[in-house]
């Protein structure tokens, strides 16, 4: 029986791409960089994802992600890479200004409150995530929040999940469900930690060879079906 859910935030409970787009455009305006087109945002997003994948694979640090992605993006757009540090600082704040729920996730987490224990587990920065959780109201629904910046380790590392287990325990691992959209951080981390994993795959992407989450869902509300069967 599943008694505890570990929820990813960005791309799972909240629409990260919507927040990303709004934050980038707000920062462009604030820094006097003009309009930021959808094409520019798409180029930034691809760069950003590549940096996060390198972080998840232990090849770079969080600090290198936060600044390096903007340095590379600005250089490619003919903008001053020296803006990367102050731009990122403002961007972290702006990320928390836009809240878009995936699949009415607020109502889902509300319904599950008291039925199972629920925790947020995220690699996002403390500034952005605390603002999102407060503005969305999700923070008040969780039994706890684990932000990698405060944990001192990133998903998918065993150190991150070990820290979580130490602070929510004692728990039986078969009773803990990891729900997230990222195969490289959420699913890999959960599988390495020995807990059931549920891949949130709203776009119906093919499952890569060698990756075998316990569940694959296209709508977050299918989590209730998993709980009813467990």
Q: Which residues are catalytic?
A: 8
**Sheet of 117-122: strands edge to edge?**
144-147, 117-122, 4-7, 176-180, 197-200, 215-217
Tokens representing residue 88 in the block? 């990122």
**143 φ, ψ (degrees, to nearest 5):** -80, -10
Residue 64 CB contacts under 8 Å (≥ 6 apart), including other chains:
51, 55
Strands (E), the chain: 4-7, 117-122, 144-147, 176-180, 197-200, 215-217
């Amino acid at each position: 029986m599943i008694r505890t859910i570990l929820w990813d935030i960005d791309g799972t409970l909240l629409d990260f791409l919507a927040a990303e787009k709004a934050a980038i455009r707000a920062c462009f305006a604030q820094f006097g960089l003009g309009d930021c087109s959808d094409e520019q945002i798409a180029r930034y997003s691809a760069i950003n994802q590549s940096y996060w994948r390198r972080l998840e694979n232990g090849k770079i640090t969080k600090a290198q992600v936060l600044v390096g992605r903007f340095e590379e993006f600005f250089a490619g757009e003919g903008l001053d890479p020296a803006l990367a540090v102050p731009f990122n600082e403002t961007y972290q704040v702006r990320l928390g200004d836009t809240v878009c729920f995936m699949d009415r996730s607020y109502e889902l987490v509300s319904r599950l409150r008291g039925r199972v224990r629920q925790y947020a587990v995220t690699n996002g920065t403390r500034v952005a995530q605390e603002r999102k959780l407060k503005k969305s109201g999700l923070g008040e629904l969780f039994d706890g929040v684990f932000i990698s910046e405060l944990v001192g380790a990133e998903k998918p590392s065993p150190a991150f999940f070990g820290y979580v287990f130490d602070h929510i325990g004692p728990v039986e691992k078969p009773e803990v469900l990891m729900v997230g959209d990222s195969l490289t951080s959420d699913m890999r981390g959960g599988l390495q930690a020995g807990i059931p994993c549920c891949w949130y795959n709203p776009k119906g992407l093919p499952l890569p060879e060698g990756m075998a989450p316990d569940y694959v869902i296209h709508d977050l509300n299918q989590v209730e079906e998993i709980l009813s069967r467990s």
